[in-house]
Amino acid sequence: MKKAAIGVDIGGTNTAIGVVDELGNVVVKDNIATPSHGDVDRYMDDLTLAIRGLMNSVNLMNPEVEIMGIGIGAPNGNYYAGTIEHAANLSFRGIVQLVKLLKVRFPELQAIALTNDANAAAIGEMIYGGAKGMKNFVMFTLGTGVGSGIVVNGDLVYGCDGFAGECGHTTLIPDGRLCGCGSWGHMEAYCSAPGMKRTAFELMARYNANDSLLAGIPFNELDSKMIFDAAEKGDKIALEVFEKTGQWLGMSLADTAHHLSPEAIFLFGGPTAAGDYIFRPTKASMEEHLLTSFKNKIKILPSQLKPGDAPIVGASALVYKEIEKSDLN
């Protein structure tokens, strides 16, 4: 009997659903709209239909596959409560009892669990990716924001209320840039993809760099891919954006390392596609900021999850962690 798990990634406009095999491959997948109507029951009906559809098609392909459960990654997902709470980008008001509602609809499944996107990515890395066999590591997801998932002794750290792992909102530069959360100087405002854009414009302003390859692109159009392309062509501003971003990220990772002394820190997301442009200065800066007893020990690694499928794959991995926990109890 082969095992598989369902991963659900709830985004602002789209909900992606996939069946993931034990190696972390998405076997079949589907999409439904994350509604703007705010009606939880209608959404649950749509979601149930889509999941049942995928379960049936897996069963047709291979009746030997056993579906173990459903894992969900969602903004503001609270693992302890199985709820989505006051998510700014979703139309649902207040608290949605997602796990409870799904358990009623899928009583035959062993495990249904939910957490936020970055935590799901961390568990995905642990079950299917580069963190297999690691007991202490941290996952950073660099995108529009910066998320993080912390693993200690083989378990995700949820904290007292399910909200642990908000490393993107630690203060990097006191009274620095405005962060998306409304506060100031957070590492997310420097190390996310929009943070890199802001750095590019700060540097062009600093050097009055009319000759930069980035100088013809308006603020609201520049993205981290354009900065990478310019760096590949030797553009000084673009190259310095990666240097600065790496310095900031490395300093922040050293702070996290001093808290947790992890074996490795994994980086996931758009900016990491730039490879050595970002990894080299990040590693150098982290080492520079580490205490002697921490130096030359902690690996900074690219996530082994495939970019497109990672949120589904990460969410599905939750299922195996849940079953492992219930086996222990």
* Sheet with 146-152: strands ordered across: 155-156, 146-152, 137-142, 264-268, 299-302
Minimum CB separation from a second copy for residue 224, in Å? 23
74 is an interface residue for a second copy by CB under 8 A = no
Minimum CB separation from a second copy for residue 162, in Å? 8
Minimum CB separation from a second copy for residue 220, in Å? 26
Instruction: Give CA–CA dist 15/324, Å, rounded.
Output: 27
Q: How does DSSP assign 92-139, residue by residue?
A: --SEE-HHHHHHHH-TT-SEEEEE-HHHHHHHHHHHTSTTTT-SSEEE
First and final C-alpha spacing in the chain: 24
Window contacting a second copy (CB under 8 A); options: 29-37, 89-97, 170-178, 206-214: 170-178
Of 168 and 271, the one with the shorter C-beta distance to a second copy is 168
52 is an interface residue for a second copy by CB under 8 A = no
133 is an interface residue for a second copy by CB under 8 A = no
- Tell me which of 95, 181, 209, 284 binds a second copy, using CB under 8 A: 181
- Residue 26 makes CB contacts below 8 A (sequence gap 6+) with 7, 18, 19, 20, 309, 312, 313
Phi first, then psi: give them for residue 224, nearest 5 degrees: -70, -25
Minimum CB separation from a second copy for residue 146, in Å? 11
201 is an interface residue for a second copy by CB under 8 A = no
Size of the site for a second copy (CB under 8 A): 44
Of 119 and 212, the one with the shorter C-beta distance to a second copy is 119
3-state SS class at 250: helix
- Tell me which of 30, 46, 85, 202 binds a second copy, using CB under 8 A: 85
Using alpha carbons only, give the angle 259, 130, 77 rounded to the nearest 5 degrees. 65
160 is an interface residue for a second copy by CB under 8 A = yes
Tell me the per-residue interface mask from 134 to 153 with a second copy, x by CB under 8 A, - otherwise: -xx-------------x-xx
Of 48 and 171, the one with the shorter C-beta distance to a second copy is 171
Instruction: Give CA–CA dist 267/282, Å, rounded.
Output: 11
Neighbours of 189 (CB within 10 A): 26
Instruction: Give CA–CA dist 77/86, Å, rounded.
Output: 9
Window contacting a second copy (CB under 8 A); options: 9-17, 42-50, 232-240, 250-258: 250-258
Of 71 and 162, the one with the shorter C-beta distance to a second copy is 162
3-state SS class at 245: helix
291 is an interface residue for a second copy by CB under 8 A = yes
Is the Cα torsion angle 120, 124, 126, 127 positive or negative in sign?
positive
Window contacting a second copy (CB under 8 A); options: 13-21, 98-106, 173-181, 208-216: 173-181
- Tell me which of 91, 110, 261, 304 binds a second copy, using CB under 8 A: 261
Instruction: Give CA–CA dist 317/24, Å, rounded.
Output: 8
Using alpha carbons only, give the angle 177, 182, 184 rounded to the nearest 5 degrees. 30
163 is an interface residue for a second copy by CB under 8 A = yes
- Tell me which of 10, 140, 169, 249 binds a second copy, using CB under 8 A: 169
Per CB under 8 A, residues contacting a second copy are 76, 85-86, 135-136, 150, 152-153, 155, 157-167, 169-174, 181, 183, 251, 254-256, 258-263, 289, 291-294, 297
